[in-house]
Structure 1
Amino acid sequence: MAAVAAVQPGAPLHAQEAEGRHYDIPAGGLTEVLKRFGVESGLLLSFSTELTAGLHSPGLQGRYSTASALRELLGRSGLEAVPQAGGYLLRRAAAPAGGETRLAPVTVTAQTGGESAWGPVEGYAAKRSATGTKTDTPIIETPQSISVVTADYAEAIGATTLKEALSYTPSINIAPYGTDSRYDWIYLRGFDGYASTYLDGLPLRNTGSLSVWRTENYNLERFEVLRGPSSVLYGQNSPGGVINVVSKRPTDKPLRELQVQVGEDSRKQVAGDFSGPVDGDGKLLYRLTALVKDAEFPAGDMADDRHFIAPSLTWRPSGDTSLTLLSHFMRDRGGVYTRVAPQAGTLLPNPNGRIPSSNYLSEPDFNQFDQDQWMLGYILEHRPGDTWTLRQNARYSHMEVDYWQAATGRFVQVDAGDPDNPANFRRRYLTVNGTRSDDSSFVIDNQAEGRLEFGGSEHTLLIGLDHQQTRFDEASYYSVTASSIDIYRPTYGTRLAIPDPYADSDIKLRQTGLYLQDQIKFGGHWVATLGGRYDWAKVENHDRLGNAESRQTDEQFTGRAGLVYLAPNGLAPYVSYAESFVPNVATDPLTGKPFDPETGRQYEIGLRYQPPGRGDSYSVAAFDLRRRNYITYDAYYVPKQRGEVTVRGLEFEAQIQPVRRMNLVLSYSLTPKAEVTRSSNPDEIGKQANPVSRHQASAWADYRFAGGFKAGLGARYVGSNRGYNEATPRKVPAYTVFDAMIGYDFARWSLALNARNVTDKTYYSQCGYGLCYFGDERKVFATAAYRW
């Protein structure tokens, strides 16, 4: 059998040979890779599948002439391509000069379309990612657990926020603090991911306050999770992993979409996405994504409004050079919507009865969350030859936040003489929390990627130097007993005073990292990934209230190693080791010197399976993850660097198409151990530091009927937990919630009705410190999109 592809219009073969073409062909079986190359190059390829059966090709990424492309594709297959009749014939390189027996070629129609690690994905199963290597790498060749949520999948499950997009992803806790409109609280493999969010591979660095960079789902192509320590590529990070989201970018082909969305809580939203070439030869491309949302929160008559616009531009002066400008402006105006209540009346009995989950225990007229942020950055790429590619990614960001909230505090004691009097369990004090901030960040990442061959192996070598400067200019406010509220029959309207700040600081963080990575293919089936990085970090803190200055510097080396075996049947077992670090912004009172950085390390073994000729993807991983050298406090509240948490778990994930037009996504997490193994406080040892459920599972299935109708149903199960440090007097119950979608696609229209938590189940995401946090209630909205 042979693959034959017609020459594409407007791409004469002599022009391709002189200028070269840019290819993005993933690794895979040689037969399928050559079919894909024939379509993209416009070349006539003739070959017998008896020659290519069972052989693997590394694929093709970058700009190549026809001759160099064929050499790269064939690699060490033992085959060569010789010109014949306006095309090429593949034959064995060691074949005799005469007397060859040639099989008659058969025409095969190859499918077009490709996937880039930084681009959109058709369907639900991504095959490539750059989050795990910073290079365009097949996921099956990456020796670490990765999940990719595509834009199509996020839209199907009705995800309008980052945490909702990751709600079907294994080992992810999307709501450790329940419903919270301020930002997306996310835990990865049992650890806080607060400082581990990235946009287009560059950090969205947060400081620990409520000034947090936000993202807009409508402007994103991919939501990616790299689980486990990742400091070799990204510098200081949580040991739980990295969340990297990828922005929409200009497209070669015209794209036009208008979208209208309406739903509960007076939700009205209009969005648009437009892209395509500006000039006739496609050297200048544009994209404009915009959104306006006018909505309210379910309680308190508080606004939940957003204005968002993201213009971007790509300039390609030649086939070897491209410059993409990315920017966005986001303005959020609204209140603060959290669902929290005392344990007495939720998890535990209260003499006054159970507290309704719909009760909003705050002051809606006082609450406010206003945030303005804008970002401007670029991605510059140049290929000086066939071997090396140079990249520079940079971004400047600015954010202003004005946040105020009345939060529930302790019970108001009405009758001191009778502690069991029901009146003592009816009212709660309200405390005032607030933040005013003016933050900015500049990050730059310089990379040199080389594709080399020596010693019988293929190397993808990455040399990088990144730098970030982030400034947090913030004042924080707190008042213990500003007012009180009846938790069973709340009334609103109490005027609350703004307290004096308890902290007012100007914090500057600088980090520079030098890293090296080598992805080595050898022996026909093996891929080794080796990496190392050295970081220099400096933190300067100007305390305005205390009129004090402090400085801290840290240096840290982190390493990474992994090995994958690519079996011909699509199986890919792997093993890996990875490290992370986070500077400790604290001083040892005994020595007067800063504490050493907190570190993380992980051992992981896994198995991936991508059946040949199918779009399905399966993965399973087992890991041993440890967070070390974090600060704990002894009985006298003296800080000591003795903390260690060990998390061990097993994960499974699958994206399957059981039958045509059907998608099935499955995930399961087993975490049998997530506990403190070392601490200055002996009472903490053996307990869970964070609320981690032993079992977590999810399933989503949708089907698209021939007439255009579509429907989907999902379920998310989260097992019980014991809260922070197992401080709750009883287990937080397990829960299961269901999501659904129905829709209809016709002509250029797409209609959908989404519902999350269809049954409006009341549940607690976790309990701790005398409080319980309710999970998200039902959300229903309809979307109409017109594309032309």
Structure 2
Amino acid sequence: MSGSVSASRLRRSTPRSLRVALLGACCAAALASPSRAQSPESPVELDEITVSGKGGKPSSGPNLSVKTGAGSRLGLTPLETPASVDVVSGDVVRDRGQASIAEAVTQNAAGFSFIGTPGNGFGAYSSRGFTGVSSVTTLYDGVRLYPGNGTVTFPFDTWTVDRIEVLRGPASVLYGEGAIGGAINIIPKKPLYEERRNEARAVVGTDGQVGLAAGSAGPINEKFAYSFDVAASRGDGWMDRGDYKNLAFSGALNWRPTDELSVTLTHDGGHNQPSRYFGTPLKGSGNVEKDWIGENYNVRDGVIRFNDNITQLKAEWTPNETVTLRAVGYYVTANRLWRNAEGYKWNEGTERVDRSSFIAIKQEQEQIGARADATIRTELFGMANEAVVGFDVNRFDFRRLNNGGYRAPDLNPSLPPKGFDPGEYGSASSYGKDYKAITTQYSFFIDDRLKLTDQISLVAGLRYDHPEVDFRGYRLVNGALPRSKTVLDSLSWRVGAVYEPVKNLAVYAQYSEAADPVTSILSLPPGSSGYKLSKGRQVEAGVKQSLWDDRFEWTLSAFYIEKKDLLAPNPNKPGSPSEQIGKQSSRGVEASVGVELGHGWRVDANATILDARYDEFFGSGNVDYKGNTPNAVPETLANVWATWRFAEDWKAQAGLQYVGKTYTSASNDHKRPAYALVNAGLQWKPTAYATLDLRVKNLFDKTYAYTGGDSQWYFGAPRTAELALHLKF
């Protein structure tokens, strides 16, 4: 399925590439300074940070010595945590040119693949055999971002990111139901007291790409500090009518009235209008017509808009060495608008593309909540013990407005595959209320770490969640307005042990239980009110080691996960609604390594080998899918990044991302082929405060599809290039 994109698209991008090169040369000449200092203390060496001891700032690699909240609320390092944890540095992500959260996660963390579409807000992933926003949870600065109708959008830009913390495997004990595959926690940049940060970035690239970003942080006085970052970008996109634009921002003000008390007010958000692209139809079973790729079968006036905001007020008080109290209140809003033709299927009889799913929807979502916890450090029978006890309360108000599938009467639902008029959706101003769902939830949690000896620790966690969903429909169903109330309790827990026979070598094992909703809790319809949460359990064991002052780190883990109570047709009740009788499992091995080889070389790599299957599952027509691989689950994944500082002020780097073949449905009749992408970059520091990067993504112009079903695939971008100027002052 590999091959080049059409020559016409390449011709369109060539003049832009030439302009990019000329602009880069001018910028470099203007920035170069022959009198630049060349001392070891020059700030030029601060661009790549290495970890130095516990609690250090993350850099490349597994970052085993960096304290994180991904694996527990105890602030343990990955080396101290009986789970698979990745800490991805925001500095490294930006240095590698990974502008989106999806790129940062899938190209750096082990075992994640991207399956994002406009319908899920480009926020869906596959991890350890489980897929979608109901099984891989996204958080922002520790706040769970709940999907309404399966859509989580924010955050999307990496400029505002300090680091990304990733937990692979069940995370329900930390974040509640819906995290059996893993959790991704994006931590924004923070206010600074000890130093100042002022930076700016300008990016130009092929397909009309233009981006600007700026940020600043530092002390206001002895008691106040701030941070503020903003990034905007736009472009024409690589497909027809693929224009996009977005804006991301993050701000924080910290107040420290005493050494023991800290109060922080933050506001973060994003406005995102991605390319209005819903994929390309296939010509038969997995048959890709390459000259169709890049065509946009959506309507001319299609709309995709996401507006998200999150405001938090945090307080942390440590009155003495044994107690720390934390509290946070947060308010989240998410407003989304779609107006598109989303479904495309090749009609062999007419030799045309049939369009369907003419959908115009508005979603309005509000979340208000609070979390409080206490960390208590004591001794238990002479052994050091640390526990976190707390609660979380939330109220969600989710509203969906629908125009009832209206489209202009003259809008053609059938198009030739090329040379067509896409038409216009028409007026969709008469949105009617579809339904409203109010969800109230409270949770209690406890994490505990007991040090049996200097070498052996026990880590355990327990969480109880109690969501209540009040669904109120505004459209008649069977002659009545539907309304339902549903309670979905869940109890998740984990226990694990870490054995450190020698310093910085840890062997661990853990057992955990978790829960997944069968659909988004916030938009649970009356027909699903009788469903319960799907239950899951995991057994995991592994080893981690850090050597040479953290210049060489490696991890190896093996796991088994089982999930039951999946929705599936009952073979003994033909034609009846699906029941929670399905079961699936996965088993696999994950490994990662980061090593500084000397002579300017560094290599970071990870790999996953997975065996995912349905253990009990039937499809339509009572077809037994037992033993089949779940759809959208690649069973082999790998990433490699190599960096070479081949001369003073010069650095070259390249990354390889491999995603194995993926089945497009539970029947396993069709599959998307495996693909390998190569990204490369060349960096020059003409002055102590400036960095110039030339990057090429998809260097070998691979044609690949990253998600989609049996008849319609979403393709990734062809080869693109960009030039980025980064200033620190």
TM range (shorter): 0.7 to 0.9
Task: Report SS of the residue matched to 2:103.
Answer: helix
Aligned-pair distance for 1:485?
4.9
**What's the counterpart of residue 202 of structure 2?**
260
Matched, 1:614 2:550: yes
**What's the counterpart of residue 446 of structure 2?**
516
In 2 relative to 1, CA 490–236 (structure 1 residues): closer, same or farther, beyond 3 Å? farther
Distance 1:493 1:744 in 2: 45
Matched, 1:558 2:492: yes
Distance 2:423 2:231 in 1: 35
Pick from 657, 667, 670: which aligns with 1:716? 657
**What's the counterpart of residue 381 of structure 1?**
316
Aligned-pair distance for 1:113?
8.2
Task: Report SS of the residue matched to 2:657.
Answer: strand
Q: How does 1:705-784 map to 2 (within 5 A)?
A: 705-729=646-670, 731-745=671-685, 746-784=687-725
Runs (5+) with no aligned partner, structure 1: 1-110, 414-418
Task: Report SS of the residue matched to 1:610.
Answer: strand
Amino acid at match of 1:473: R
More contact order relative to length (CA 8 Å, sep ≥ 6): 2
**What's the counterpart of residue 96 of structure 2?**
157
**What's the counterpart of residue 545 of structure 1?**
475
Matched, 1:371 2:306: yes
| TM-score where L is the length of structure 1 | 0.78
Range 205-214 or range 662-671, more displaced:
205-214
Distance 2:109 2:250 in 1: 31
Is contact 1:368–1:405 with CA below 8 Å preserved after alignment? yes
**What's the counterpart of residue 176 of structure 2?**
235
Matched, 1:454 2:395: no
Task: Report SS of the residue matched to 2:624.
Answer: helix
Identical aligned residues as a percent: 21
Matched, 1:675 2:614: yes
Distance 1:741 1:757 in 2: 11
Distance 2:296 2:286 in 1: 17
Distance 2:372 2:227 in 1: 25
Distance 1:199 1:593 in 2: 29
Is contact 1:193–1:238 with CA below 8 Å preserved after alignment? no
Range 236-245 or range 491-500, more displaced:
491-500
Is contact 1:168–1:667 with CA below 8 Å preserved after alignment? no
Pick from 515, 535, 538: which aligns with 1:599? 535
Aligned-pair distance for 1:459?
1.0
Q: How does 1:551-590 map to 2 (within 5 A)?
A: 551-584=485-518
Deviations 1:22-57 (A, max 9, x none): xxxxxxxxxxxxxxxxxxxxxxxxxxxxxxxxxxxx
Q: How does 1:300-699 map to 2 (within 5 A)?
A: 300-333=240-273, 335-344=275-284, 347-348=286-287, 355-363=291-299, 365-412=300-347, 419=349, 424-476=350-402, 479=405, 483-497=412-426, 504-546=434-476, 547-584=481-518, 594-634=530-570, 635-659=574-598, 661-679=600-618, 681-699=622-640
**What's the counterpart of residue 217 of structure 1?**
158
Aligned-pair distance for 1:615?
2.9
In 2 relative to 1, CA 116–439 (structure 1 residues): closer, same or farther, beyond 3 Å? farther
Task: Report SS of the residue matched to 1:684.
Answer: coil
Residues matched between the structures, number: 658
Is contact 1:178–1:765 with CA below 8 Å preserved after alignment? no
Distance 1:525 1:485 in 2: 68
Deviations 1:99-155 (A, max 9, x none): xxxxxxxxxxxx9986786x8534445222111112221110100111121112212
Distance 1:334 1:143 in 2: 39
Aligned-pair distance for 1:244?
0.6
Aligned-pair distance for 1:435?
2.0
Alpha-carbon RMSD:
2.8
Is contact 2:172–2:492 with CA below 8 Å preserved after alignment? yes
Distance 1:390 1:139 in 2: 23
Q: How does 1:115-134 map to 2 (within 5 A)?
A: 120-126=57-63, 127-128=65-66, 129-134=68-73
**What's the counterpart of residue 276 of structure 1?**
218
Distance 2:117 2:143 in 1: 28
Deviations 1:270-308 (A, max 9, x none): 1111011101xx211011111222322223334311233
Distance 2:283 2:602 in 1: 41
Matched, 1:202 2:143: yes
Aligned-pair distance for 1:650?
0.8
Distance 1:678 1:327 in 2: 45
Aligned-pair distance for 1:242?
0.7
Q: How does 1:18-33 map to 2 (within 5 A)?
A: none
Aligned-pair distance for 1:552?
0.4
Distance 1:181 1:599 in 2: 23
Distance 1:653 1:708 in 2: 29
Distance 2:117 2:699 in 1: 17
Task: Report SS of the residue matched to 1:596.
Answer: coil
Task: Report SS of the residue matched to 2:292.
Answer: coil
Range 693-702 or range 769-778, more displaced:
769-778
Aligned-pair distance for 1:588?
10
Is contact 2:508–2:541 with CA below 8 Å preserved after alignment? yes
Task: Report SS of the residue matched to 1:725.
Answer: coil
Task: Report SS of the residue matched to 2:159.
Answer: helix
Task: Report SS of the residue matched to 1:163.
Answer: helix
Task: Tell which structure's C-alpha radius of gyration is larger.
Answer: 1
Task: Report SS of the residue matched to 1:758.
Answer: coil
Q: How does 1:166-181 map to 2 (within 5 A)?
A: 166-169=105-108, 172-176=111-115
Runs (5+) with no aligned partner, structure 2: 1-48
Task: Report SS of the residue matched to 2:358.
Answer: strand
| TM-score where L is the length of structure 2 | 0.84
Distance 2:190 2:176 in 1: 26
Distance 2:420 2:140 in 1: 42
Is contact 1:631–1:643 with CA below 8 Å preserved after alignment? yes
